[in-house]
Structure 1
Amino acid sequence: MTGHPNPAEYARHSPFSDPGAHRALVAGVAAEPGAIHRAVTAAITHYRADPAVTSEQFADIDRRWIASILDAATERADGPLDAERAPDRRVGGCCRDHSLLAVSILREHGRPARTRLGFAGYFTPGFRHDHVVVEAGHNGRWVRFDPELDPAAHGFDVHDLPTGPGSPFETAAEAWLGYRAGEIDLAGYGVAPGHPISGPWIVHGYVLGDLAHRMRTELLLWDGWGVMDAPDAPIAADALDLADRVARLTVAADGGDASAEAELAALWRTDERVRPGRTVTTFSPAGGFGTVDLEARTTAWATAET
């Protein structure tokens, strides 16, 4: 996709959020955070947070299109999306899938919505987990919310999250700029405490991933393209500079700077280092390494899927 989505385009489905044959099912969920929370948590179980996840659910995590996720959901259980279902009847996924389903619901109701990549400090004290949340257009601003969270379990408004550096959810751009300024130690940012996928590498990738999601290209968290490199490889100087630029523009655009928004759009349109093409690589926890054809919706796996 080229160009920049204006606010009206955020109300239109991307190929990833389009529910396809399940349009009526998605439209049956009210476009408000409480109903969305019930629907996304009833339909999708987090493959890492659920200790009883089945092998079938683990394999689900590479269903990158909402239409495919809902294929599995409807095959395993009847009824509306927010209906209670047995744990093993849910679809395996992660925060990206919860949030993209929320975005699909909002867009189906004509509401502008988008996913944001960053790091949440409300799961493990002293650590920020990689995470995806939702922003919905409302009264001229983007309202950020986490569709996974039960409002009663947290001491902040999960339906209108505080924003900015140090907030419960920091965007990848905010974390990156803090790191580059020497203000943040990214050792406490990543998949989980002690997990090898932590530190500057994952935050660097999420700066670019957040730009893709901003441009309605809602790829999986383990997809790679452009200047992204393997976790154990040093980040090249030009890739550092690129992330610096994208992060500065992202933070400025989030603050309402229209010129920064336009510059992000131009960068996305013209720089192949940030924009995925027809194919991306994927480093799936379930399927190993593969090459994904985004137009054909196929994946050629280099290792056997588990």
Structure 2
Amino acid sequence: MDVDDYRTHSPYSDPRHHAALLDAVPADLPIVAATARNVIVHYRAGGVELPDARRAEANLRWLDRILDADQSRFPLPLTAGRPAAERVAGCCRDHTLLTVAALRQHGIPARSRVGFASYFVPGWHHDHVLAEWWDGGRWVWSDPELDPADDRPFDGYDIDPEAGHFDSAARVWLAHRAGRIDPDTYGVDPSLPFRGDWFVHDYVLLELAHRQKDEVLLWDGFGAMTEDLTDADLPLVDEVAALLVAADRGDAAAGRELARRYASDDRLRPGATVHCMDPVSGTAAEVDLRR
């Protein structure tokens, strides 16, 4: 994919009948990010207690369905204030999806990036999703979930890729394979078992899917994903990770090779269904992605 491919919607970011709502959001990253925070509250870390029925909104998946839920409660412009407890439950993936969708709606190239953030808990690297958008000269990493009013030692809307605040899953995997990091400090939360080498391995595949505009949920399983690396094809993920890092550095041939492999190798992409592990109910189900 080239830059222009990211100007258009994916099935996930397409607002469908809510296009006018995105048209009305100014094409300015700080406003777009504030709008995402206004519409979506984190389902478990948003500072409000939500009942399970509301927390389950984190599985809505498609932007038009997220906006359906929002508009059922607030038939208002997306920039109009919503009480935190009444916002749509989601996570970083959904803040980013809305941000990416609003930018794409205005023809601005944007995509989501999957990796790990070190700025929430000292010594821990939370699984996280950033928005990445093209400013006309370079790709910019921005975290729409961060409120600029918070005291942080970096610009959350222009995160330096080399500063260590956020690392792509591919870079983390390659660092693990080189013995430079402890993968057990990378995962969902220090209190949960979802961490380690298998988790980073699977997130490389999530990173690839999101780069190819399949912005699946973070708890969707597909292809070569596994919770046990004993029989995993590690060289496959090594190669994908190396290509992802090379593409980030501007290697157009690496980007084309990623697209070719993604299209031809069903180990690397979601099919018609994904194995979804619902983090709210703890149940697993096959989810049909066809609409």
**What TM-score, normalized to structure 1?**
0.91
Determine if the alignment matches structure 1 residue 49 to structure 2 residue 19.
Answer: no
| Partner AA of 1:97 in structure 2 | D
Equivalenced residue count is 288
Q: Which residue of 2 aligns with 1:295?
A: 290
Sequence identity percentage:
48
After the TM superposition, which residues 162-173 of structure 1 pair with which residues of structure 2 at under 5 Å, given as runs? 162-164=160-162, 167-173=164-170
Superposition misfits of 4+ residues, deviation over 3 angstroms: none
Q: Which residue of 2 aligns with 1:224?
A: 221
- Residue 30 of structure 2: which of 31, 34, 41 is its match? 34
Which whole-Å deviations, capped at 9, do the CAs of 1:105-152 have from their partners, x for residues lacking one? 000001110000000001001111000001001123111100011223
| Partner AA of 1:163 in structure 2 | P
| Worse overlay, 19-28 or 83-92 | 83-92
Q: Which residue of 1 aligns with 2:253?
A: 259
Does structure 2 conserve the Cα–Cα contact (< 8 Å) formed by 1:201 and 1:235? Answer: no
Tell me how far apart the structure 1 counterparts of residues 220 and 229 of structure 2 sit (CA, whole Å).
Answer: 18
Tell me how far apart the structure 1 counterparts of residues 28 and 199 of structure 2 sit (CA, whole Å).
Answer: 31
| Aligned partner of residue 103 in structure 1, secondary structure | helix
Shift of 1:235: 4.4
Tell me how far apart the structure 2 counterparts of residues 34 and 189 of structure 1 sit (CA, whole Å).
Answer: 28
| Partner AA of 1:234 in structure 2 | L
Tell me, which stretches of 5 or more residues in structure 1 are unaligned?
297-306
Which whole-Å deviations, capped at 9, do the CAs of 1:55-75 have from their partners, x for residues lacking one? 332110110000000000000
Does structure 1 conserve the Cα–Cα contact (< 8 Å) formed by 2:112 and 2:132? Answer: yes
Shift of 1:78: 2.8
| Aligned partner of residue 152 in structure 1, secondary structure | coil
| Aligned partner of residue 122 in structure 1, secondary structure | coil
Which whole-Å deviations, capped at 9, do the CAs of 1:199-250 have from their partners, x for residues lacking one? 1111111100010000000000000111112x3x334241x11111111000
Determine if the alignment matches structure 1 residue 213 to structure 2 residue 207.
Answer: no
Does structure 2 conserve the Cα–Cα contact (< 8 Å) formed by 1:179 and 1:186? Answer: yes
| Aligned partner of residue 3 in structure 2, secondary structure | coil
Tell me how far apart the structure 1 counterparts of residues 177 and 186 of structure 2 sit (CA, whole Å).
Answer: 14
| Worse overlay, 287-296 or 61-70 | 287-296
Does structure 2 conserve the Cα–Cα contact (< 8 Å) formed by 1:189 and 1:203? Answer: yes
| Aligned partner of residue 189 in structure 2, secondary structure | coil
Tell me, which stretches of 5 or more residues in structure 2 are unaligned?
none
After the TM superposition, which residues 1-306 of structure 1 pair with which residues of structure 2 at under 5 Å, given as runs? 5-50=1-46, 51-153=48-150, 154-164=152-162, 167-229=164-226, 231=227, 233-238=228-233, 240-287=234-281, 288-296=283-291
| Aligned partner of residue 280 in structure 1, secondary structure | strand
Tell me how far apart the structure 2 counterparts of residues 224 and 97 of structure 1 sit (CA, whole Å).
Answer: 18
| Partner AA of 1:244 in structure 2 | D
Tell me how far apart the structure 2 counterparts of residues 236 and 259 of structure 1 sit (CA, whole Å).
Answer: 30
Tell me how far apart the structure 1 counterparts of residues 83 and 139 of structure 2 sit (CA, whole Å).
Answer: 34
